[in-house]
Chain A
Amino acid sequence: MSTHFAVEPALEMLLIAIAQQRDQAAFRQLFNAVGGRLKGYAVKSGANDKDADELVQETMLLVWRKAHLYDPTQASALTWLFTLLRNKRVDLLRRNKHNLISADDLYLEPESAQSEHDAEPLQQEIESDRNQHIVRNLLQHLPTEQRIILYKVYFEGKSHSEISDELALPLGTVKSRLRLALSKFEVLARQHFLWLLIIQMTNY
């Protein structure tokens, strides 16, 4: 897992190259770097092989169309890719239903995006990189029992009570395990904001 870490700053640079130069070589590189893992995620969240391939293709087409909206100060490349995959999945699942809601209605695009990319690329890279690093660390150190619950939420969409039935655990236990996992996230997020503040202040 730690081997991915070195790859990530490059993913952000690829997205920026796609946005600014409409760079097809960068697009190929990105596709090769993340396509398989996007499919892996899609399969874990219940897609069959064919649908998973379609989801990868549609997500990558969205990358091409939306790259100029990617803001490295808001999200790491992988987090942004996650939101595109999630949205496409929502839309594909609803494709055959006439209830009209699309993922674009549900998930707001951050308004601050675009054209500021070249402001202070180094600092931005540090920010999103550090961000993802913190989340990674946290995930890696989460006890298995807490991870399992998070996986069931992300890949199976399970609610607390469904998880408690499935794992034959009291509902209270499921809730407190999830709360434990989340409280660690929040503490780390807070520390991280502090760290960002320090970077910003030392830059003035």
Chain B
Amino acid sequence: MASYHPNDELLMRFSAGMLSNALGVLVACHVERCPHCQEKTRIYEQFGGELIAESDDAELPADLLDKTLARLSDEAEPAPVKVSGNVPRPLQRFLPDDVSQIPWKGMSKAIKEFRLPFGDDEFDARLYKIAAGKQLPEHTHRGREFTLVLSGSFSDNAGAYHAGDFVLADTSVMHRPRAHAEQDCICFAVLDAPLKFTGWFGALVNPFMR
């Protein structure tokens, strides 16, 4: 089970359906595989149920019930498909079934990226792959960067992160992440959108730091 989780604020906004697109997907990918956060989510959903209980009884158009009845059909929703494979369900439709087929774009030998098409006004979404045993140059972050380890693991001076771990880095974090030697580390990251070229890659893009 994961050792690092989204904080209560994120889990609550997620449960309330209030996270922006990219960050919502990231939190969903963690929760899907984290019983601890599923339990919290369930409590926050109960809380939502309670907010409905105490909501004002707003007036509905007189014909809304009849219009709704007229649209009832016989088909019932199929039962949910069980999640399988290594790719979290929210990401499945954006990635090949075989993750070795992901068309990575190389920035350097140590790190490659794959941009995900569901960014929003607030955040950009992408996958990173840090090659096994490679260490990235020391860098900080110009904005927030939320990371979920999908496979493999990496360490920095603050700790070691394994598949399922949810990590938040921001301007206060200065680190040199290193992928563990056994396998490449694939991470799903969501970062502040206006800072596209100055996030994790800042150090790599800046020629003086090569």
Chain A residues within 8 Å of B, Cβ to Cβ: 1, 4, 8, 22, 24, 27-28, 31-32, 34-41, 43-44, 52-53, 56-57, 60-62, 64-69, 74-76, 78-83, 85-87, 89-90, 94, 97, 99-101, 103, 105-109, 111, 113-114, 131-132, 135-136, 139, 150-151, 153-157, 159-160, 175, 178-179, 182, 185-186, 189
Partner of B117, one of A38, A99, A103, A157: A99
B residues engaging A (CB < 8 A)? 8-9, 12-19, 21, 24-25, 28, 31-32, 42-43, 45-61, 64-65, 67-69, 71-77, 79-80, 82-83, 89-90, 93-94, 117-120
Tell which of B15, B71, B93 touches A61, judged by Cβ atoms closer than 8 Å. B71
- Quote the shortest CB–CB distance from A79 to chain B (angstroms): 3
A153 near B16: Cβ-Cβ < 8 Å: yes
A204–B42 Cα gap in the complex (Å)? 27
- Residues of B contacting A76 with CB < 8 Å? 46, 49
Q: Check A113–B79 contact: CB distance below 8 A.
A: yes
> Are the C-beta atoms of A101 and B21 separated by less than 8 Å?
yes
B171 to chain A, nearest CB (A): 14
User: A101 — which chain B residues lie within 8 A by C-beta?
Assistant: 21, 24-25, 90, 118
Besides A31-B65, A101-B24, A106-B25, 8 more A-B contacts (Cβ < 8 Å) are: A44-B56, A82-B49, A83-B48, A101-B118, A103-B17, A106-B24, A111-B82, A178-B12
Quick check: A85 and B52 within 8 Å, CB to CB? yes
B60 A81 Cβ-Cβ under 8 A: no
In the bound complex, do residue B120 and residue A99 qualify as a contact, i.e. CB atoms below 8 Å apart?
Answer: yes
Q: Are B49 and A135 in contact (CB under 8 A)?
A: yes
Q: Which of B45, B49, B55 is the one whose CB lies under 8 Å from A44? A: B55
User: What's the Cα separation between A67 and B59 when bound, in Å?
Assistant: 25
Whether A75 contacts B60 in the complex (CB less than 8 A), given A101-B118, A111-B80, comes out as no
Question: Are A86 and B55 neighbours in the complex by a CB distance under 8 Å?
Answer: no
Given A24-B72, A32-B65, A82-B45 contact (CB < 8 Å): yes
Is A81 in contact with B49, judged by CB distance below 8 angstroms? yes
Minimum Cβ distance to chain A for residue B183 (Å): 27
What's the nearest-Cβ distance from chain A to residue B151, in Å? 20
Flag if A37 contacts B61 (CB, 8 Å): no
Bound CA span A27–B73, Å = 13
Which of B57, B90, B94, B119 is the one whose CB lies under 8 Å from A106?
B90
Most interface-central of A66, A89, A105 (chain B CB within 10 A) = A105
Contact A40 B58, CB 8 Å, known A56-B64, A78-B53, A182-B8:
yes
For the complex of A and B, the 4 pairs showing the least CB-CB separation, nearest first, are A157-B18, A79-B49, A40-B55, A36-B57
Q: Which residues of A contact B46 (CB under 8 A)?
A: 75-76, 79, 131-132, 135
Q: Is the CB of B50 within 8 A of A56?
A: no
In the complex, the chain B residue whose C-beta lies closest to that of A89 is B17
Query: How far does the alpha carbon of A107 sit from the alpha carbon of B14 in the complex, in Å?
Result: 9
CB <8 Å contact, B64 and A65: no
B28 and A66 form a contact (CB under 8 A): no
Report 6 cross-chain contacts, Cβ distance below 8 Å, ordered by A residue. A57-B71, A60-B68, A67-B76, A105-B28, A109-B80, A178-B12
List the A side residues contacting B17 at CB < 8 Å: 86-87, 89-90, 103
Cα A31 to Cα B57 with chains together (Å):
12
Q: B190 to chain A: closest CB distance in Å?
A: 13
| Cα of A8 to Cα of B52 in the assembled complex, Å | 12
Query: In whole angstroms, what is the CA distance A44 to B51 when docked?
Result: 10
CB atoms of B48 and A108 under 8 A apart: no
Determine whether the beta carbon of A105 is less than 8 Å from that of B25: yes
A187 vs chain B, min Cβ distance (A): 11
Residue of B nearest to A76 (CB): B49
Taking A28-B69, A185-B43 as contacts, is the C-beta distance between A81 and B52 under 8 angstroms?
Answer: yes
Distance, CA A34 to CA B67, complexed state (A): 16
